[in-house]
Structure formats: C-alpha cells, structure tokens
Amino acid sequence: MPSMKSFATIVKRASLRAAVSLLCFVATELSAYPQETTFRAQTTVVVIPALVKDSKDHVVPGLTAEDFIIEDDGVSQPVHLDESAESEPVSLVIVVQRGRRAAYEFPRIHGLSSMIDPLLTDGRSKAAVIEFDSQVQLLQNFTGDSELISHSLKELRPGDDGAAILDALDYAVRMLQTVPKSRQRVLLLISETRDHGSQAAKIDDVVAEIGQSSITIFALAFSPARSNVLDTMRGNNRGEMHPEPDLLAPFVLAVQAMRKNMPKAVASMTGGEFESFATGKSFDARMVDFTNHVHTRYLLSIEPKDPHPGLHQLRVRLKDAGNNTILARSTYWATDRTK
C-alpha cells in the first residue's frame, strides 16, 4: 500500500496531466477560429437598381425577377427582385459645382430646390448638399427638412477656378456609404464634364468605392463653352471679364468632346442617367425625369457564389426586350474576403 507521500505525488502528477490535456484541448479549439474567420461563409449580395424604358422613353412597370437576365463576368446568375423598393426611403446627396464658370449656370438651376421637395414629402427620406470648386464643402448634412435644403441651394456663391469633380464624388460616396443599406442611395451631380484640380481622391479608389456601393448616380452636365456662346448671343455676358473664349467656343467644344466625360462615366457605372443642359427649361425637364425615376427603378440583386476580388463586369438584360431599353450598373467591385 503506497504511503501518504507517494499518494500525494500520484495525485499531483495526475492533476498535471489533466491540466496539460486541458491546455492542449483549448489550444486546439482556439486554433480553429482563425480558419473559420478566414473562410467566411457569408455570400456577397450585389444590389443592381435598374430602369426599364420603352421606345417612347416611358417607364415600363410590372416586370418580375423572371423577366431579367444578369451575367456576372459572363456567367448567368439567379436574380432576386425587391418588391418593396418603391416604398423605401431615399438618402440623396446633391453635389453642385460652384467653381470656374459654374456661377453663370446658377440662374438656369434656380428651380432645383422646389424639384427636390417631392422626394422629401414621405417624412423618411433625407437629402444633403455639397458644393465644390477646388475644395469640397458640406453645406447641409442629411435632413428631411426641405426648407434647409432650399436655403443651402440658395446660398451657392461663385467659387475659384477649380472644379474638383473627383474629390466631390469621393466625399459624397463616402457620405452615402454611412446610411443604412435599407435606404435607396442616390447622388445627383451638377457639374461640367471635366475635372479641374482634384487632389485628395485617386480615380482608382473612387471607381472601387462606387463599385462597392449600391449608389445610383444621376449627372446633369453643363458645357461652359456652350453656355458662354448662348449667353453671348442673348447679351448676357456683358459683365464677364474674359470674353476671349467666345471666339474659340467651337474649338473648345470639340476638344471637350475628345476628353474624358467624368459625370457620364460614373452615371453609366451605376446604371444612373447622364443628361446635359444649356438652358433653364432643359434643366427643369431633366430634373422632372430625375424625380420621376428615383422610385421607378427595379431593385434587383444577385448573390455570386465565389466572386473573385476586383472589378466585375455586369450585363443586365431582358429575356424579351422588344423595343425596351434598360439602364443598370455595368460593374461592381468585390473585396478579398480572406483578409
């Protein structure tokens, strides 16, 4: 029969072996967690707002998910349609250029605030206002008060010689990324077509930001040269200090046509709309289309099973298109889910 001392030694060794076994078990269990985190079983949902119009430019209602075909990098995907999209509140960021010759456009866009009012009448939708020249400034954060939006838009003042469109887009997209995903995210850009002086944002980063979001961009663009010509013909340029560009307007228009059109490019990426205006009447007509189309888009989505990191090409079409056309985002950006 073992002595009390040897018995205590046996108990101590048994306890030590149990402790070691427990530590090994805990270490094994903990080592499994990084593997589970790395695998990430969740599926990426790609939201695709889509506008369908007939040959007369009227919105086509009543379509179902079965009417759409969506290809992700050439591979057809199951399509989901959110039936409640029309009733979802809107988060809208209005981005207005005030630099360069934009001040001469202010009389043409004076009806902007009244045309935004209908979007805020549901009591849940909100809007914000950003202005930019060579710098970007937030005039009004998200609010459902249409009077505050109207006041901000009426406070627009001429800016410097810059038109940092890319910086303004970057700022606005980041704002919209903070709102709940249950809201429709809309960006209204009013600017010329070429960037002048963006420094903070890089075009690759902005492309990725737009691709990762479910934002729809509407762009209403003016041409400084074309507006200058029209104003000169109407005698509205008498107070302008530099009339020389009038003589070169046709040349300037041709050069602008050859250069990259940033508003048009970002609108196309998101399935939004790009239009130009040169008069107050044409601006008002474009804004009527904008307000009518915000709630008439089909909110489609797909769940790619294994989206590779980087830019993906989307193709959205109708099974039976007929004379109908469809506007939908053409790309999205997938992040590396293993990081």
pLDDT tens-place string over residues 118-129: 889 888 999 999
pLDDT exceeds 60 at position 33:
no
Residue type, 231: D
| Residues 15/281, Cβ–Cβ less than 8 Å | no
User: What is residue 39's predicted lDDT score, i.e. its pLDDT?
Assistant: 30
User: What is residue 96's predicted lDDT score, i.e. its pLDDT?
Assistant: 97
**Are 237 and 313 in a shared domain?**
no
User: What is residue 24's predicted lDDT score, i.e. its pLDDT?
Assistant: 45
**Percent of the residues in the chain that have a pLDDT greater than 70, as a whole number:** 75
Q: What is the pLDDT of residues 44-61, one digit of tens each?
A: 788 898 999 999 889 999
**Are 68 and 147 in a shared domain?**
no
Q: What is the pLDDT of residues 72-85, one digit of tens each?
A: 989 999 999 988 76
User: What is residue 271's predicted lDDT score, i.e. its pLDDT?
Assistant: 86
CA atoms within 13 A on the CB side of 213: 29
77 contacts: CB under 8 Å, gap ≥ 6: 70, 71, 302, 303, 304
| Residues 156/187, Cβ–Cβ less than 8 Å | no
**Are 72 and 159 in a shared domain?**
no
Q: What is the pLDDT of residues 180-203, one digit of tens each?
A: 888 889 999 999 998 898 998 888
Q: Is residue 151 part of a domain?
A: yes
Q: What share of the chain is helix, strand, coil (3-state, %, to 5)?
A: 40, 25, 35
User: What is residue 23's predicted lDDT score, i.e. its pLDDT?
Assistant: 41
β partners of residue 77: 70
**Are 262 and 312 in a shared domain?**
no
Q: Is residue 155 part of a domain?
A: yes
Query: Rounded mean pLDDT of 304-332?
Result: 88
User: What is residue 306's predicted lDDT score, i.e. its pLDDT?
Assistant: 72
Query: Rounded mean pLDDT of 24-43?
Result: 38
Most confident listed range (2-6, 25-29, 219-223, 251-255): 219-223
> pLDDT category, 37, cuts 50, 70, 90?
very low
What is the pTM (predicted TM-score) of this model? Answer: 0.74
**Are 104 and 222 in a shared domain?**
yes
Q: Is residue 242 part of a domain?
A: yes
> pLDDT category, 17, cuts 50, 70, 90?
low
**Angle formed at CA 117 by CA 276 and CA 126, multiple of 5 degrees:** 95
Burial of 188 (0-12, 13-18, 19+ CB in 10 A): buried
**Are 223 and 156 in a shared domain?**
yes
Query: How far, in Å, CA of 210 to CA of 189, rounded?
Result: 14
User: What is residue 241's predicted lDDT score, i.e. its pLDDT?
Assistant: 39
Taken in order 32, 34, 39, 44, the sign of the CA dihedral is positive
| Residues 311/55, Cβ–Cβ less than 8 Å | no
**Are 288 and 306 in a shared domain?**
no
User: Among 133-142, 254-263, 280-289, 296-305, whose mean pLDDT is lowest?
Assistant: 254-263
Number of domains in the chain: 2
User: What is residue 70's predicted lDDT score, i.e. its pLDDT?
Assistant: 95
| CATH classification of the domain holding 131 | 3.40.50.410
User: What is residue 236's predicted lDDT score, i.e. its pLDDT?
Assistant: 46
**Are 192 and 310 in a shared domain?**
no
**Angle formed at CA 327 by CA 326 and CA 332, multiple of 5 degrees:** 125
User: What is residue 207's predicted lDDT score, i.e. its pLDDT?
Assistant: 79
User: What is residue 85's predicted lDDT score, i.e. its pLDDT?
Assistant: 65
User: What is residue 158's predicted lDDT score, i.e. its pLDDT?
Assistant: 94
**Are 131 and 211 in a shared domain?**
yes
